[in-house]
Amino acid sequence: MKYHFSYKKVWLISLLFYLLTGCSVSDPPAYGPIPTQYQLDWQKLEFYMFIHFGPNTFTNVEWGDGSEDPKIFNPTALDCRQWAATAKAAGMQAIIITAKHHDGFCLWPSQFSTHTVRESTWKDGKGDVLKELSEACREFGLKFGVYISPWDQNHPTYGTPEYNQVFVNTLTEVLTNYGQLFELWLDGAMGEGPNGKKQEYDWDLFYSTILALQPQVVIFSDVGPGCRWMGNEIGVAGETNWSTMNVEGFSPGIFAPAEKILNEGEEGGTVWVPAETDVSIRPGWFHSPQTDNKVKSLEHLVDIFYTSVGRNSNLLLNVPPDSRGLIHHNDSVRLMELRAVLDETFANNLTKQAKFTATHTRGGKSSRYGAENLRDGNYNSFWTTDDKQLSASIEIDFGKEETFNRLLLQEYIPLGQRIKSFSVEYWDGSDWQNIKHQTTIGYKRILRFQMVTTKKLRINIEEPLACPILNTIEVYKAPEIE
């Protein structure tokens, strides 16, 4: 049988293969450091609860000195299910508890300390707060994390080389007995040891122990390696906030980078260390009866949400239980008010039916990278440009007049953080008018501005470090808080 060669058939087959596979267009290469899958999963949590609880709750001080009698720890109605239910109802995704604060008191019956719940009067020394809370978190579908301070004002070996192994032993107990942790908080505080010598922490030993036992856990400290402190405790991340930083030569505590670097990260940083914003709902970290009427206002908490989650940072909001072992009514009510405002704000995304167009799209008009991907709700689809095309604009046509005061943008950070500056404009019927000019975006950026009524909105990517990649643009009308 003779084979009849046909150029037309070959051309049609090649065209079909091109259309089906898009083989001539591929994702941009990653730019700079990128998050691990664990860091990405952590970033998506966005908002979770901090619990400061221990002897300080009963002595009405912020920092105990380790000399307190462990018998004072005796919550009369401790209910970790109430904590978890409150966090869940508030829209939080996880809880981190101070398993051991600077006083050295362990909320679990550690074999390596005599300053623990075992020596307390609570449950006749047979209780274990970490066990109860980890189980409550699993029941309510929350992630569980712990804060363990290396500083220990009670342990007799603190201030000697032997203490580093003691601390590793306590870490090992927590990491092997309470299920999977999503985050482990390592405070860099350091005080005088019993012999007047400051403890030389073996951070490499601490990190290696943690990651050997739970490689998925995100380690918090001033320099990560999982996430970083953002330099203050008032709830305000940098208006410019890079998830990258240079950590060589630094360590947690007094040897940390400058506050400005912690707050803003560093453009061109060599490692991916995203920011976490920690702040308390009260003036102090531990519950005090004197602050029951000093819970932060709803307006203040809403501001904190926008200066943390809205600035490429996760929000860790401290809600301290009282001496009963319960979250106080005032704190709970304020959390529910916050949840109601956020739910109302982000209930109706005005871009769902809008038309998206871009001045530039990777591969010409390739639908694989088209601007319509910005409203499809799929985290892993995105708009981008050709590698050498840096500046670009995206226009959103609502099809009718819409009124709004919030804009949410997300970069596709699995391929790096790229955008250094951008601007937002609205169409007034005859010309484009400026709304905002801002710097970084990162995982999530939420802009607040005065109400705007328009048919069209435009986002201009002005100064990217590599071809810009966005996966979400959303527009909302937030309620006015009275």
Is residue 71 scored above 50 in pLDDT? yes
Distance CA 68, CA 397 (A): 64
Query: Looking at residue 195, what is its pLDDT?
Result: 65
Nearest CA among 419, 443, 151 for reference residue 314: 443
Query: Looking at residue 194, what is its pLDDT?
Result: 64
Is residue 336 scored above 50 in pLDDT? yes
Classified by CATH at the fold level, domain 355-476 comes out as: Jelly Rolls (2.60.120)
Query: Looking at residue 25, what is its pLDDT?
Result: 84
Q: Which tokens is 287 given?
A: 């519950």
Is residue 19 scored above 60 in pLDDT? no
Query: Looking at residue 70, what is its pLDDT?
Result: 98
Tell me what percent of the residues of the chain surpass a pLDDT of 90. Answer: 90
Distance CA 21, CA 294 (A): 60
Is residue 414 scored above 80 in pLDDT? yes
Is residue 21 scored above 90 in pLDDT? no
Distance CA 348, CA 43 (A): 23
CA distances in angstroms from 196 to 100, 153, 159, listed in the order given: 22, 12, 8
The conformation of residue 295, written as its DSSP 8-state character, comes to P
Task: Domain ranges for the chain, please list them.
Answer: 37-345, 355-476
Is residue 226 scored above 70 in pLDDT? yes
Looking at residue 259, its amino acid is E
CA distances in angstroms from 284 to 210, 242, 356, listed in the order given: 29, 29, 47
Characterize 29-40 residue by residue with b for buried, 16 or more Cβ atoms within 10 angstroms of its Cβ, and e for exposed.
eeebbbbeeebb
Tell me the per-residue pLDDT of 98-153, one tens digit each, with 9 for 90 and over.
Answer: 999 999 999 999 999 999 999 999 999 999 999 999 999 999 999 999 999 999 99
Phi/psi of residue 299, nearest 5 degrees: -60, -40
Helical (H) or strand (E) element with 352? none
Is the domain spanning 37-345 CATH 3.40.190.10? The answer is no
Query: Looking at residue 482, what is its pLDDT?
Result: 59
Helices 203-213, 162-177: axis angle to 10 degrees equals 20
Mean pLDDT, range 264-292, rounded to an integer: 98
Tell me the per-residue pLDDT of 105-114, one tens digit each, with 9 for 90 and over.
Answer: 999 999 999 9
What pairs with residue 395 in β-bridges? 357, 458
CA distances in angstroms from 300 to 92, 240, 289, 294, 448, listed in the order given: 18, 21, 21, 12, 15
**pLDDT interval class at 220 (50, 70, 90):** very high
- For the chain, give the longest Cα–Cα distance: 98
Average pLDDT, the chain: 94
Distance CA 305, CA 154 (A): 37
Tell me the per-residue pLDDT of 196-210, one tens digit each, with 9 for 90 and over.
Answer: 668 999 999 999 999
Nearest CA among 242, 198, 183 for reference residue 49: 183
Tell me the per-residue pLDDT of 150-188, one tens digit each, with 9 for 90 and over.
Answer: 999 999 999 999 999 999 999 999 999 999 999 999 988
Is residue 23 scored above 70 in pLDDT? no
Mean pLDDT, range 225-237, rounded to an integer: 97
Is residue 5 scored above 50 in pLDDT? no
List the single range of 6-15, 242-251, 260-269 with lowest mean pLDDT. Answer: 6-15
Query: Looking at residue 453, what is its pLDDT?
Result: 98
